[in-house]
Every structure is written in C-alpha cells, then in structure tokens.
Amino acid sequence: MNDSLHAMNWDELVARLGSEEELTRSAREAGALLRKRQVSSATILLRLCFAYVLGRFSLRTLAAWAEQRGLASMSDVAMLRRLKASADWVGDLVSDLLAERCPEALAGSSGGLRIMAVDATVVAPPGPKRAYWMVHTVFDLSRLRLCSVDVTDRHDAERLSRGVVQAGELRIADRAHARADDLARVVEAGGAFLVRAPSTHPRLLDGEGRLLDRLALCREAGEKGVLDRPVRVQDRKSKVEVAARVVILPLPPEAAAKARRAARRLAAKAGYEPSEAGIEMAGCLVLLTSLPSDGWPPERLASTYRLRWQVELAFKRMKSLVGLEDLRAKDPNLARLWINTALLAALLTEDDLPALGPEAPDSLPLAA
C-alpha cells in the first residue's frame, strides 16, 4: 500500500470488516476461497480486490504487484478467475455494512415483496476515444445487495426487466424505465412495478380506451390533494397495454418550485425550450404501479419509491470518492466485483479512512 496507509495498517482496515476467521468463513460460504493454493487467506484476497479497483491495475499489473509483494503467485488469467469468483463475497461484506449503517433503507413493510431498485448510470472508461458506457444495475433493497450488473454502450435502452425478473419482486425505478412494453414484461414474469412517469409518455388510457390528459390529471390532484386512478398504460408504437394505477401527489410549494427550476435547467442543458405544461407538471410526483390499492395507498407508494434513492446516492458517492468513471470491466461478474468493491471502499471512506490506492510494482505502469 502507499504512503496514505501509513497511518493505518492493513490489519486495522480488515478489523472494520471482521476477524480473519469470520472473513475466511464468509469467503468460503460465498465460493470465493474454496482452495488456498494460490491465495492463502481471505484478507489477501480482499487486498487483491482493493488493488484491482482502487489501484486501477490491469490484471497483468495486479499479478505482478501481488508476486512482488509476496501476496500471491498466479497468472493474469488465474487472477481474473479469482476476482470474478469474489463478486458475491464482497457483495456480502457490503450488505453487512449497509445493514448496520443504513437501517432506514429497510424501514416499513414491503408486504412480503422483494424490493428491487433498478437504475443506470453513464460512465466514461479511460482511453483515447472515451467511449461512454451504461452501467445497468438491479439492487435488492430487501437484502441490501447488488444482484445484477450489465455494462453496455450508451445506446442500449434502460429497462425495468434487466436481469431475471422473479415472481414476488417489486421493481422500482425512475422515469427512464417507464415503458409500457417493459412494464408488461415485469407483470408477465410475476413481478410488480412502481415507476415515476415522465410528462409525455407512456400513453395513459381510461377504461374506455380514451387518452387521458396528464396536465388535467395533475391539476385535479392539486385540487384534491392526491389522485389515485386505474388506467391502461400503452406503448405508442406496439400498442402493448398493461393495467396500472396512476398516483399523483402534488409536491409541497418549496419542493415544487425547486423541481420546476431543475426542469428548466435540464432543458437548457439539453438545448430545448420546455413546455409550460411540462414545467407545471414538474411540481407533481406522478407514479405508475401495478400494486393494488388495498394495502398500498398513495403515501406508502411515495415512501417506497423514495427507497431507490439509496442506490442513486451510492452511485454518486462512488463517482466522487472512488472513481466509478474508471470502471474497465464489461464481463458481468467482473463488473459486479468492481462495483461491490467500490461500494465497500465508499462505505469505509465514510468512516474517515485514508485513500486505499496501492502503488504499482517497480518498473510497471498503472495503465489498464
């Protein structure tokens, strides 16, 4: 490790996560340390994960660094296998820390549903062309663990049905995921959805198949304090429809004004003039859900939707603290290892730990 760790040795860092025996047991249970032929302990394996992510090492450089330090002797191919096999284990360590520090993420009953927060973020991996990637994630808020990662080019659409949708899941996501055909796929798989609706799509139909005016619905919600109505959500092109409820809650005046300012800024950044209707509707929280009204009143839906902020804030922390922009892995398991390790580092950083970047082996570059 570099000079930034002189004030704290590796044993002190590991002690934040558990004893050697506890880490070894959890690594074995997760399938990360079934054999000790090349990596002799769980703490060494964890150190390799940190070095790969926070040191911005290539696999070849990581293997050379581990050899020079006397930590492990293996090829870059063997190192790749070890890292990929460690994704679930590091995810378990993250889950344990989150359960201790973020109990509010699990506040309230989910009615027996597994709450899955679906999100995506744009990253620009290093390189001369700076080709942007999309990192699509599914985070299980019921167990506080990342369960699916897809790394694609930025043209691959955000989808609520990323990963494998299972019966008994409640998938929550932002406006970008409110597509009728994708909502229908979630329901067909036995799941439920709760998404925020944009001001212009998807199409909302009443029981007679007539197109509903969103602005009129928002104004009605303003008069009544809340609006909760059954609708059919329709895809404009395919005409696929799915039954849902539209739930509209006007924001408090100060929050509404802030949301409208943000909408204007976003429009200016994107280079278009926002409509007056769009600005007015920005003062409302508009949700679409397949959950029944019995047991899921509007206030509960709103509080459940806010849980997705746990994932969005985690990505913001990773970008600022440990450089999510440096993600280099497109393999799903290696990408999960990378993100789980970055999350773990971000959580440890919140404990005022120093930077965790190891130095490169002598005479070897840090290039990926």
Higher pLDDT, 366 or 169: 169
User: Can you give the pLDDT at residue 322?
Assistant: 53
Whether residue 271 is predicted with pLDDT greater than 80 in this model: the reply is: yes
pLDDT-derived band of residue 201, with 50, 70 and 90 as boundaries?
confident
- Output 19 or 296, whichever has higher pLDDT: 296
Confidence of residue 109 (pLDDT cuts 50, 70, 90): very low
Q: Calculate mean pLDDT across residues 209-222.
A: 95
Does 145 share its domain with 57?
A: no
In a domain, 173, yes or no: yes
Share of the chain above pLDDT 90, in %: 43
Average pLDDT score over residue span 352-361? 40
> In the chain, how many domains are there?
2
% of the chain residues with pLDDT over 70: 82
Q: Are residues 68 and 103 in the same domain?
A: no
Query: What per-residue confidence (pLDDT) applies to 364?
Result: 38
Mean pLDDT is lowest, of 95-99, 216-220, 331-335, for 95-99
Instruction: Mark whether 60 and 109 lie in a shared domain.
Output: no
pLDDT in tens, 326-341: 677 778 888 888 888 8
Residue that is last in its domain, among 27, 58, 85: 85
Whether 365 has a pLDDT exceeding 50, the answer reads no
- Over residues 83-105, mean pLDDT: 79
Task: Please say if the pLDDT value at position 353 is more than 80.
Answer: no
CA angle 171, 176, 182 (to 5 degrees): 55
Separation CA 366–CA 357 (nearest Å)? 11
| Dihedrals phi, psi of 50, to nearest 5 degrees | -60, -45
Q: What is the pLDDT of residue 321?
A: 55
346 lies in a domain?
A: no
* Domain-terminating residue out of 85, 115, 142: 85
Q: Is the same domain home to 308 and 206?
A: yes
Quick one: average pLDDT of 149-170?
A: 86
Residues 31 and 141 in one domain: no
Say how far residue 354 (Cα) sits from the centre of its chain.
Answer: 25
Q: Measured in whole angstroms, how far is the alpha carbon of residue 19 from the centre of its chain?
A: 29
pLDDT of residue 129: 55
Instruction: Output the pLDDT for position 339.
Output: 82
User: pLDDT band for position 107 (50/70/90)?
Assistant: very low
Indicate whether 74 and 112 sit together in one domain. no
Question: Does 293 map to a domain?
Answer: yes
Range of the domain at 122: 99-315
Q: Which of 191, 160, 163 is nearest to 177 (CA)?
A: 160
Please, what is the average pLDDT of the chain? 82
Q: Please tell me the predicted confidence (pLDDT) of residue 326.
A: 65
Given a cut of 60, whether residue 64 has pLDDT beyond it is: yes
Same domain membership, residue 214 and residue 136 = yes
* More confidently predicted of 68 and 143: 68
Residue 145 lies in a domain: yes
- Reported confidence tier of residue 362, pLDDT bands at 50, 70, 90: very low
Q: What is the mean pLDDT of residues 245-260?
A: 93
What CA–CA distances, in Å, run from 71 to 7, 43, 55, 281, 353? 21, 10, 16, 58, 23
Whether residue 360 is predicted with pLDDT greater than 70 in this model: the reply is no
pLDDT class of 358 with cuts at 50, 70, 90: very low
Task: Write out the DSSP string of 69-126.
Answer: HTSB---HHHHHHHHHHTHHHHHHHHHHHHHHH-GGGG-S--TTPEEEEEEEEEE--S
Mean pLDDT of 339-347: 81
Residues 103 and 79 in one domain: no
Stated pTM of the model: 0.74
pLDDT > 80? residue 188: yes
Q: Are 41 and 341 in contact (CB under 8 A)?
A: no
